[in-house]
Amino acid sequence: MLTKKKDRSLTIEVDSGQMKFTEQGYENTVNTFAIADNVAKHAFTATFKREFPRSHQVYVSEK
């Protein structure tokens, strides 16, 4: 996901029961969570709100 200005992004990779969130923008971090955990859902929500606090237009690309 990218902001309209494309200066911030959130990449989500799913591989064999794990989700990897890569943040680029306000913070530059990589976090890995087990898909079965509720922690992943809450982490995604927190990351999304941090990187896209006022964005109404977000680009989504699927690979």
**pLDDT in the model for residue 12:** 87
**pLDDT in the model for residue 30:** 93
pLDDT per residue as tens digits for the range 21-54: 898 888 899 989 888 778 888 888 888 888 888 7
Amino acid occupying residue 9: S
Q: Report whether pLDDT(63) > 90.
A: no
pLDDT per residue as tens digits for the range 6-21: 778 888 888 888 889 8
Largest CA distance in the chain: 33
**pLDDT in the model for residue 60:** 77
**pLDDT in the model for residue 4:** 67
Structure tokens at 56: 């109404």
SS3 45: helix
